């Protein structure tokens, strides 16, 4: 069914107003691209529940409900699914806020549900917690309890708080007072911490106070105590603990101050922008610099992205690793709210970060989680964008009826929209076009019909440059000619398979690869290794497994659909694309990534593919 965000869009549109994608994005705190993807999902879903979303150029989206009964039934079904998810989070928090057992009847009374409902929710929660390294024990006459190290319990406690956006007191004056106090002390002590780092630190302090109220204190090893108490950051933590204790009404013991120091070390950053790269090595240890270089080398070796010579990227990676290595060392976590969007929007950059994570684990003997991988991918994505901007730009000529006011308006709109990718060489009228040489022009953008036959591509647009006009220009700039079907042959498609687990599906697809291509003998192991680093689930029941590094000379894609969804790293999957990219990165590969993303975001097409019984029904969906 629909996600919370999509239901939120519907509730917004139920007010009866029209909203543009940008307005909805601003109100929900997401990108316009995410809103467009959500609108595609809503449009395909609502058509079977008596409602439709109309889109008008320049005005926005409007919801029209033709069958209120069917529409409300759909919302109730979605709400029922959300209700269990919410209850599981609240049940987890009840357990994590106490040192003793929680009786079933007490949980049922607190959550306003029956004991049988609590038992069902507990089964879901137990599976989740076990995947995080915690155990749930049930003791007759006593109840339920979560078992694990205090550090694990606090990390999980935090993730459940953030999952439901219910950090206790997050909006009240006391929480804000605590945050302002933390910022003030860090500033006084000249300790630079990013906004995300400050939020992490404040939430940690809040959780520490909650756990201490339940009689649970951080357990710090003697070796960690000895090394951390000698650091400058420990002195900062001592001052912070004293001030915080007054606000929260608690007296933080030494173990908690040491634990707070760990968080400061994990959040502390350095700034080099004003000093320049020349002085950068003075604030980052040689070991961190060498690790950063090694991470870039491993990506270049396997993906040929030519990143090793990008000093700005080297600085970004090293600056991220400096506090990150402390987080790894002390088992601390940092949340990446953009993770899902990063994985979907920048798949090649995320794959590069996975390779970095694997190498980092070899060099430091610590495992890096998906949130950290996402931040590394942002740095890589920025570097790839810089490379793209340095490529030869296409030169465009703007043609309008008069060649004066309207052409100037379009000229500046094009410059703003395609800056760095297209150079607007000039403007002229339709009459002047006949006398102008077009040898240096790659594209003509015209607001008037051009009757003459020209070898240069022509795009007819509106003076105000509508979204459909932008799409036409985008297709020429990126030379998008290929669709997903160009990369998937008919004999690479396997419909309505009966496999019930991930390993069996992967085994089957690898066997099909071996029948058709020369592949490494350890291809299956390379694919599973990639899954262990970060599951390749995308969205809309689709997974895109692939080897942890490229192994083919040309891109190869195999497609498999299942009769029933299977578990794929905690998500349901029913469509699998085995994705083997070439060793050499090129523009064709970028087209493959983009066509894959476009298909996966189209929920209606994915749904039709799942139900397709033969190639005749399947192939048009991939075109």
Indicate the CATH number for domain 4-66.
Answer: 1.10.10.10
C-alpha dist (Å) from residue 423 to 160, 335, 419, 428, 464: 49, 39, 7, 15, 19
What pLDDT score does 3 carry?
A: 67
pLDDT in tens, 330-369: 888 777 877 877 887 788 889 999 999 999 999 988 888 8
Query: What pLDDT is recorded for position 276?
Result: 44
The answer regarding whether domain 277-390 maps to CATH 3.40.50.2300 reads no
In this model, does residue 422 exceed pLDDT 80? yes
Interval 538-560 mean pLDDT: 88
Q: What is the distance between the alpha carbons of residues 165 and 89, in angstroms, rounded to a whole number?
A: 10
- Indicate the length of the chain as a whole number: 623
CB neighbours of residue 541 within 10 Å: 23
> Which is nearest to 44 in space by CA: 540, 444, 502?
540
Whether residue 354 contacts residue 373, with contact meaning beta carbons closer than 8 Å, is answered with: yes
Lowest mean per-residue pLDDT among 74-78, 292-296, 428-432: 74-78
User: 26-40, 220-234, 474-488 — which is least confidently predicted?
Assistant: 474-488
Give the integer Cα–Cα distance in Å for 349 and 552.
19
**Fold annotation for 484-622:** Mannitol-specific EII; Chain A (3.40.930)
Beta strands in 342-421 (DSSP E): 394-400
pLDDT on residue 392: 62
Buried b (16+ CB within 10 A) or exposed e, 427-455: bbbbeebeeeeeeebbbbbbbeeeeeeee
Spell out the domain ranges in the chain.
4-66, 75-163, 173-267, 277-390, 394-477, 484-622
CATH number, span 75-163: 1.10.10.10
Q: Dump strand ranges (E) for 57-121.
A: 60-65
pLDDT band at 204 (very low <50, low <70, confident <90, very high): confident
Q: For residue 584, what pLDDT is reported?
A: 67
pLDDT more than 70, % of the chain: 88
Sign of CA dihedral 27, 31, 32, 36: negative
4-66 with 173-267: one CATH topology? no
Specify whether domain 394-477 bears CATH 3.40.50.1100: no
pLDDT in tens, 91-118: 888 888 888 899 989 988 887 778 888 8
pLDDT of residue 230: 87
Number of separate helices (H) and strands (E) present in the chain: 25, 12
- Which CA distances in Å does 268 have to 192, 208, 220, 233, 241? 6, 19, 20, 9, 17
Range of lowest pLDDT (6-10, 226-230, 401-405): 401-405
The lowest-confidence range among 97-101, 508-512, 523-527 is: 97-101
- CATH number for 173-267 (one of 1.10.1790.10, 2.70.98.50, 3.50.50.60, 3.10.450.350): it is 1.10.1790.10
Model confidence at 494: pLDDT above 80: yes
Residue 551 has pLDDT above 50, yes or no: yes
Query: Beta-carbon neighbour count of residue 306 at 10 Å?
Result: 14
Round to whole Å and give the CA distance between 20 and 24.
6
Lowest mean pLDDT segment, chosen from 3-17, 223-237, 312-326:
3-17
What pLDDT is attached to residue 10? Answer: 86
For residue range 137-194, list pLDDT tens digits in order.
888 888 999 988 888 888 888 878 765 444 444 445 667 778 888 888 888 888 877 7
């Amino acid at each position: 069914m629909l996600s919370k965000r999509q239901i939120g869009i519907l509730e917004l549109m139920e007010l009866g107003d029209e909203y543009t994608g940008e307005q909805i994005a601003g109100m929900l705190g997401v990108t316009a691209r995410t809103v467009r993807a959500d609108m595609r999902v809503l449009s395909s879903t609502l058509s079977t529940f008596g409602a439709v979303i109309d889109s008008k150029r320049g005005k926005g989206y409007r919801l029209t409900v033709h069958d209120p009964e069917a529409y409300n039934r759909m919302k109730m079904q979605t709400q029922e699914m959300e209700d269990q998810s919410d209850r599981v989070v609240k049940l987890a928090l009840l357990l994590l806020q106490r040192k003793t057992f929680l009786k079933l009847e007490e949980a049922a009374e607190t959550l306003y549900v029956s004991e049988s409902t609590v038992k069902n929710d507990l089964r879901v929660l137990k599976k989740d917690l076990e995947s995080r390294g915690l155990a749930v024990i049930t003791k007759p006459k006593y109840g339920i309890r979560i078992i694990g190290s205090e550090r694990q319990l606090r990390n999980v406690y935090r993730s459940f708080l953030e999952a439901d956006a219910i950090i206790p007191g997050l909006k009240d004056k006391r929480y804000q007072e605590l945050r302002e106090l933390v910022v003030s002390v860090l500033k006084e002590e000249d300790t630079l911490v990013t906004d995300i780092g400050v939020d992490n630190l404040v939430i940690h302090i809040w959780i520490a106070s909650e756990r201490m109220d339940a009689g649970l204190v951080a357990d710090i090893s003697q070796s960690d105590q000895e090394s951390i108490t000698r650091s400058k950051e420990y002195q900062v933590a001592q001052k912070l603990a004293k001030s915080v204790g007054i606000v929260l009404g608690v007296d933080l013991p030494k173990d908690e101050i040491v634990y707070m120091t760990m968080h400061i070390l994990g959040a502390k950053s350095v700034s080099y922008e004003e000093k320049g790269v020349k002085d950068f090595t003075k604030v980052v240890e040689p070991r961190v610099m060498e690790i950063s270089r090694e991470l870039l080398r491993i990506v270049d070796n396997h993906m040929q992205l030519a990143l090793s010579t990008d000093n700005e990227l080297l600085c970004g990676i090293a600056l991220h690793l400096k506090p990150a290595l402390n987080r790894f060392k002390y088992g601390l976590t940092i949340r990446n709210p953009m993770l899902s969007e990063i994985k979907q929007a920048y798949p090649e950059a995320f794959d590069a970060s996975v390779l970095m994570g694997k190498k980092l684990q070899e060099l430091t003997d610590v495992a890096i989680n998906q949130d950290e991988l996402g931040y590394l991918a942002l740095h890589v994505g920025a570097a790839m964008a810089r490379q793209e901007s340095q490529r030869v730009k296409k030169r465009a000529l703007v043609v309008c009826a008069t060649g004066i006011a309207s052409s100037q308006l379009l000229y500046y709109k094009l410059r703003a929209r395609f800056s760095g990718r297209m150079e607007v060489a000039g403007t002229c009228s339709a009459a002047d076009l006949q006398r102008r040489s077009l040898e240096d022009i790659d594209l003509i953008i015209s607001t008037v019909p051009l009757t003459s036959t020209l070898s240069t591509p022509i795009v007819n647009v509106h003076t105000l440059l509508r979204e459909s006009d932008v799409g036409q220009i985008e297709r020429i700039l990126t030379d998008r000619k290929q669709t997903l079907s160009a990369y998937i042959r008919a004999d690479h498609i396997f419909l309505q398979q009966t496999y019930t687990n991930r390993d069996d599906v992967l085994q089957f697809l690898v066997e099909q690869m071996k029948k058709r291509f020369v592949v490494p003998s350890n291809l299956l192991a390379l694919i599973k290794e990639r899954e262990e680093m970060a599951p390749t689930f995308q969205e809309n029941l689709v997974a895109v497994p692939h080897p942890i590094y490229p192994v083919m000379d040309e891109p190869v894609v195999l497609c498999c659909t299942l009769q029933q969804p299977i578990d794929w790293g905690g998500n349901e999957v029913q469509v699998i694309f085995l994705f083997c990219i070439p060793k050499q990165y090129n523009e064709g590969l970028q087209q493959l990534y983009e066509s894959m993303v476009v298909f996966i975001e189209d929920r209606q097409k994915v749904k039709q593919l799942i139900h397709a019984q033969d190639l005749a029904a399947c192939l048009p969906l991939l075109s």
